Structure formats: C-alpha cells, structure tokens
Structure 1
Amino acid sequence: MTVSLPLVFVLGIVAWAAIKFLGIRLWVAVVIALFGFWLSQTFLAPAIESGTRSGVDIVNGNHD
C-alpha cells in the first residue's frame, strides 16, 4: 500500500511534534526550516535529493 502525502505536511507534523513534545522553541524550528531552504540552493542539493529518494524507496519497500 502506498500513501501519498505532501512532504510539507509530513515536515509540519514533525515540527509540531518536536515543539509540543520535545520542548523545541518555535524560533529554532523556523531557523532550521530557513536553513533547509538555503541548503537546497547549494551544491549539496543533488546529494540531499538522492538521499531523500533512497529513504522514501526504502520506506515504501521499493528497493531493487
């Protein structure tokens, strides 16, 4: 069974859980999100995308 959820929705739930249960402050979550957007515009973006796709494939059970 494959469930399709937008990545922003999943990250929003993770951020909410971190703020609610781990006691992370809201401004720290915002800084981490902004750093992620900045990082996506650097030379590391292809490696991040490849790692993310590999992780999703493993979770979905599509490993070859």
Structure 2
Amino acid sequence: MDVPLWFVLLVVGVLGFKLIRPPWWLVVVLLLGGFLLADSLLAPVIDTAISK
C-alpha cells in the first residue's frame, strides 16, 4: 500500500496537535523556523547530520 508522505505528515500533525495541545504561537514558530532553516546556509550541515 502506497501512502503519500503529505498524508502521513498531516495525520501525525493533527494527532500530535490534538494530543499534546501546543500553543498556536509555538506551532507557527516551529514551522517558520524549519522553513527558514531549509533555505539557509546551515541546510547542508543539517542534512549531513541527519543522514548519518
């Protein structure tokens, strides 16, 4: 069975939000921070650290 990655991330995000109940500002900060880090000079360093 092939499940799209976006669907898995959506389900995990919705369940995590319902169970943990983080504040909205924290969700926004984490999403924006991840988006900005992905386009920064640190992206290759993070990628190599994660893929090892």
Query: % of aligned pairs identical?
Result: 34
- Whole-angstrom distance in 2 between the partners of 1:18 and 1:44: 27
Count of aligned residue pairs for this structure pair: 51
Q: Give the match for residue 4 of structure 2.
A: 5
TM-score, scaled to structure 2: 0.60
Label 1:35 to 1:16 Cα distance change in 2 as closer, same or farther (>3 A).
Answer: same
Q: Give the match for residue 14 of structure 1.
A: 12
Q: Structure 2: which 5+ residue stretches go unaligned? A: none
Label 1:11 to 1:44 Cα distance change in 2 as closer, same or farther (>3 A).
Answer: farther
- Whole-angstrom distance in 2 between the partners of 1:11 and 1:38: 19
Letter in 2 for 1:12: L
* Structure with a larger share of its residues in helix: 2
Deviation >2 Å, runs of 4+? 3-6, 8-15, 47-50
TM-score, scaled to structure 1: 0.53
Label 1:18 to 1:30 Cα distance change in 2 as closer, same or farther (>3 A).
Answer: same
Structural RMSD (CA): 2.7
Quote the offset at 1:19 in angstroms.
1.2
Q: Structure 1: which 5+ residue stretches go unaligned? A: 56-64
